[in-house]
């Protein structure tokens, strides 16, 4: 028996298979060593930024008006929520130290998008002592005081959090990883959809964009979602961003600081080089994960790992996904309601594509349905039985046994299987 450790929650899952029956190919992104001096690398990055003036210099200019008016400056730092492993417990204190401002000048705005707000426990885990030092606010996409800033070239309304719009200095942190819609996370996505109104998020995720072949893993230049996010964010952009890349242990391997677009582009190029893996042909079976904690806490996020596997599964094949989902589906938004629609998956998919109305969380259901049209999906999770029935997938309590059942049912003597231990952190690319 051969054992492969898969990312699952915070402890992992051991997948075992017999090499006599299974011909496995393990696909893993590069695992770079951590920066030897993370704080030193941060200082170098913010004092020698990409595409803009150094942070301290920019801050002096941006905060001059507040000083002239003898008031405490308003500095807003947008961070990711509890579903992302951004090391903001390090980045936020370092940013404030470099700015040289008092703690009461700083508000940390949690970029929840349409997710629920992060709990006090989650905030302490995400931010460390920064959760107590600074004013922390969860963004709410349906707050009554969002600010309308204008329309995109394709007609979408841009509504953003008022704290961000009225700040004297706007900073965004982020983690650059492969993303199934926008090519990569980080960059402008901290703002749109991170701190946007629901109407803006719905326009950003409308079905025609989700269905666009360029709205996919690893694409930036021709990606309509990345283009739309950047266009809307330009209406009220960050003065400065600090994006990081991480290794498998969630340690910082690179820091990309500066202007929102050029710094993000530089980070995306680095991640593409690390995460892209050429694949010569599709596989009848692909085993995937949702990269473990914190991304595999619910089934909504787990669609990302399934989507990554769908890139290289053979039509009519099987995706075996191992994702903890200990927090459920989740129940907020319309994700659960859409999944519970009584129509067959193909009919629901057609209805979503035909509708001119974008329902809350529709985009995640649409992606799942796209994957279901290509392959059978079997999920190993901690979902209770009642919620398993809603996912439109099959389920297994023993992934290793299920893998061997698939091998025994295969016509060939050895079943070809791709194993993606880190799921969506990998960009398997089928070569022409």
Kindly report the three-state secondary structure assignment for every residue of 86-122: CCHHHHHHHHHHHHCCCHHHEEEEEECCCCCCCCHHH
**Cα–chain-centroid distance for residue 278?**
22
Tell me: the pLDDT tens digits for 273-331? 999 999 999 999 999 999 999 999 999 999 999 999 999 999 999 999 999 999 999 88
Q: Which of 13, 82, 115, 349 is catalytic?
A: 115
Q: What is the pLDDT of residue 27?
A: 98
Tell me: the pLDDT tens digits for 376-390? 999 999 999 999 999
**Of 203, 259, 207, nearest to 229 (Cα)?**
203
**Residue 188: both structure tokens together:** 């402008």
Which residues are bridge partners to 243 per DSSP? 174, 256
In the chain, the domains with their CATH numbers are 2-29+280-430 (3.90.226.30), 38-274 (3.40.50.11440)
Q: What is the pLDDT of residue 244?
A: 98
Q: What is the pLDDT of residue 65?
A: 86
Q: Which of 13, 82, 139, 179 is catalytic?
A: 179
Which regions in the chain score pLDDT beneath 70?
none
**Of 192, 241, 240, nearest to 62 (Cα)?**
240
Q: What is the pLDDT of residue 411?
A: 86
pTM of the entire structure?
0.92
For residues 89 and 175, the answer to whether their CB atoms sit within 8 Å is no
At a CB cut-off of 8 Å and minimum separation 6, what does 268 contact?
A: 176, 183, 184, 186, 187, 220
Give the Cα-Cα-Cα angle 42, 136, 70 (nearest 5 degrees). 80
Does the active-site annotation cover 115? yes
**Residue 219: both structure tokens together:** 């694409």
Q: What is the pLDDT of residue 86?
A: 95
Please tell me the distance from the alpha carbon of residue 109 to that of residue 301, in angstroms, as a whole number: 21
Q: What is the pLDDT of residue 413?
A: 86
**Could you give the C-alpha distances from 284 to 218, 313, 403, in angstroms and in order?**
23, 6, 11
Does the active-site annotation cover 179? yes
The single residue listed with the structure tokens 């950003």 is 204
């Amino acid at each position: 028996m051969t054992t492969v450790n898969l990312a699952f929650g915070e402890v992992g899952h051991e997948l075992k298979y017999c090499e006599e029956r299974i011909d496995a190919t393990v696909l893993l992104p590069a695992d770079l060593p951590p920066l030897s001096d993370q704080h030193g690398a941060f200082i170098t990055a913010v004092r020698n930024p990409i595409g803009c003036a150094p942070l301290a210099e920019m801050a002096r200019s941006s905060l001059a008006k507040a000083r002239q008016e003898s008031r405490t400056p308003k500095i807003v730092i947008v961070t990711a929520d509890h579903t992302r492993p951004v090391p903001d417990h390090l980045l936020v204190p370092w940013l404030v130290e470099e700015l040289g401002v008092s703690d009461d000048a700083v508000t940390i705005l949690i970029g929840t998008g349409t997710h629920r707000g992060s709990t006090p426990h989650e905030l302490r885990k995400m931010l460390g002592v920064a959760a107590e030092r600074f004013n922390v606010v969860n963004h709410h996409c349906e707050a009554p005081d969002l600010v309308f800033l204008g329309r995109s070239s394709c007609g979408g309304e841009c509504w953003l959090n008022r704290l961000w719009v009225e700040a004297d200095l706007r900073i965004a942190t982020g983690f650059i990883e492969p993303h199934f819609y926008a090519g990569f996370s980080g960059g402008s996505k901290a703002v749109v959809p991170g701190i946007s109104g629901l109407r803006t998020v719905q326009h950003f995720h409308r079905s025609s964009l989700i269905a666009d072949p360029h709205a996919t893993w690893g694409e930036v230049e021709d990606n309509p979602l990345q283009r739309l996010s950047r266009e809307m964010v330009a209406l009220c952009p960050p003065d400065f961003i600090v994006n990081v890349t991480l290794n498998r242990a969630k340690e910082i391997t690179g820091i990309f600081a500066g202007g929102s677009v050029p710094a993000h582009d530089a980070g995306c190029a680095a991640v593409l080089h690390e995460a892209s893996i050429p694949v010569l042909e599709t596989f009848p079976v692909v085993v995937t994960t949702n990269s473990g904690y914190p991304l595999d806490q619910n089934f909504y996020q787990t669609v990302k790992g399934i989507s990554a596997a769908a890139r290289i599964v053979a039509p009519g094949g099987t995706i075996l996904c191992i994702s903890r989902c200990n927090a459920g589906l989740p129940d907020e938004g319309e994700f659960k309601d859409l999944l519970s629609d009584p129509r067959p998956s193909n009919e629901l998919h057609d209805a979503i594509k035909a509708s001119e109305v974008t329902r809350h969380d529709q985009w995640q259901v649409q992606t799942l349905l796209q994957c279901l049209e290509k392959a059978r999906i079997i999920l190993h999770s901690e979902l209770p039985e009642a919620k398993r029935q809603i996912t439109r997938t099959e389920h297994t309590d023993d992934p290793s046994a299920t893998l061997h059942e698939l091998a025994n049912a295969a016509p060939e003597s050895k079943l070809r299987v791709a194993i993606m231990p880190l799921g969506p952190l990998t960009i398997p690319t089928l070569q022409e």
